[in-house]
Structure 1
Amino acid sequence: MSLIGEIHYFRIPVISLEESVKWYIECLGFHLRRQNEELAVFELKEGPLLVLVKADINSRGHFLINGKPEFSVGFTCPEIHKFHQQLIEQNVEVDEIIEEDGHFYFHFYDPSNNKLQVHW
């Protein structure tokens, strides 16, 4: 049995901390818990904290498979179609919504070009 109880936070590298903080608040509606010169901590309704960390320009919070980016962080959203449209209206880079057996998801990118996913 593991002595670890839960995931406390995820860290995502960002190029411009100020721009990213503004984007995560305005586009995603996240609640900023605290911020300093190097990082910003966001609190969601449930689950672990999300920490944005000021990083080198080539840093990304996703990995590659066959040269294509794969997301590391996935969010849930019961109003996924409404959220998709909201991101489009805010000029966020988004992929089309995919449906598989009643499960919907899509990918989108933050200002630092981190690939993220939302599903329902």
Structure 2
Amino acid sequence: MGEKLLRIGTTYIPVTNVELSSDWYVNKLGAELSYKDQDKAILNFANQSIFLVKSNENQSSNFFDIHGNERFSLTFEVNGLNALQAIHKEFKQSEIRVGEIEDRGHSGRNFIFYDIDGNKFDVWSELSPIFKEKYLISK
């Protein structure tokens, strides 16, 4: 196989109400709505296309690891600890359900947050070096 997978282009997130969820992502996270119908909404943010897909209640993108801990399926990156602290504060002020900023024993810091359907996400204070290089981001 000579070709390689280059990037993740689309992520699918289950939601119970496409209208409410798409409004939440636009108003709370700054996503850009590019399409919406009764079954899905297509959002652009964090350099990715996010599909919010109408699903049954009590579904989420979360999963449980071997130790029974609920895990997130996505980690968003910000550029440094100051950016992480600022977005954490902004999320709290916007009444987004957030966890505390954590030291998980690796470089940077993280915190988790949830959307209105209980989908759990992570935010990390370290941008990937390849992303920084490609988009000419300096600290």
Q: Shared fold by TM > 0.5? A: yes
**Larger gyration radius, structure 1 or structure 2:** 2
1:109 equivalenced with 2:114 (yes/no): yes
> Hey, what does 1:7 align to over in structure 2?
8
The structure 2 residue matched to 1:94, chosen from 95, 98, 101, is 98
RMSD of aligned residue pairs (Cα, Å):
1.6
Map of 1:73 onto structure 2:
74
8 Å Cα contact 2:77/2:124 also seen in 1: yes
- The structure in which a higher percent of residues are strand is 1
Provide the residue aligned with 1:36 in structure 2: 37
Letter in 2 for 1:105: N
Rounded Cα–Cα distance in structure 2 between residues aligned with 1:29 and 1:111? 15
Distance 2:106 2:55 in 1: 38
Question: Which is richer in helix?
Answer: 2
Q: Sequence identity, in percent?
A: 28
Separation in 2 of the partners of 1:59 and 1:2?
A: 37
Show structure 2 runs of 5+ residues with no match: 126-139
Unaligned runs of 5+ in 1: none
Secondary structure class of the residue paired with 2:122: strand
Q: Which has the higher contact order (CA 8 A, sep 6+)?
A: 1
SS at the partner of 1:111? coil
Distance 2:25 2:99 in 1: 18
1:51 paired residue number: 51
Aligned residues: 119
What is the Cα deviation at residue 44 of structure 1? 2.0
Corresponding letter in the other structure for 1:74: T
Is the contact between residue 30 and residue 45 of structure 2 (CA under 8 Å) also seen in structure 1?
no
2:21 corresponding residue in structure 1 = 20
